[in-house]
Amino acid sequence: MLPFRTEIRNSPKEQTLKIYMSDLSLDQTLKVLLEKKDGVRRVEIQDSISRNRVAENVTVFAKEGQSLNKLKEEIDAFLNDYFSKRKV
């Protein structure tokens, strides 16, 4: 199983980036790290509603004017790097 999966989601107010982690114990650690990234306005840990998902997710809100697609690419690269270093 992959350590994480990201997807762009639409909400009534704005698009967000959802990060689903296979290890929920890392949610709080990654929240703190992601809050420091350029382009990130806010990060929340939220309960997942769907039955086919992990119990909670990390939701990233982009700063105004920030491309969510670009932010997703940057966060995916950051998370890939983070998890590749954890395996060592």
pTM of the model: 0.87
Local confidence band at 33 (pLDDT 50, 70, 90 cut-offs): very high
3-state SS, one letter per residue, for the chain: CCCEEEEEEECCCCEEEEEEECCHHHHHHHHHHHHCCCCEEEEEEEECCCCCCCCEEEEEEECCCCCHHHHHHHHHHHHHHHHHHHHC
The predicted-structure confidence for 53-72, as pLDDT tens digits, reads as follows: 667 889 999 999 999 999 99
Which domains, and CATH codes, for the chain? 4-87 (3.30.1360)
Please write the tens of the pLDDT for every residue from 19-28. Answer: 998 888 888 9
Q: Using the predicted structure, report yes or no on whether residue 5 has a pLDDT greater than 60.
A: yes
Q: Please give the order of strands across the beta sheet that includes 15-21.
A: 4-10, 15-21, 56-62, 40-47
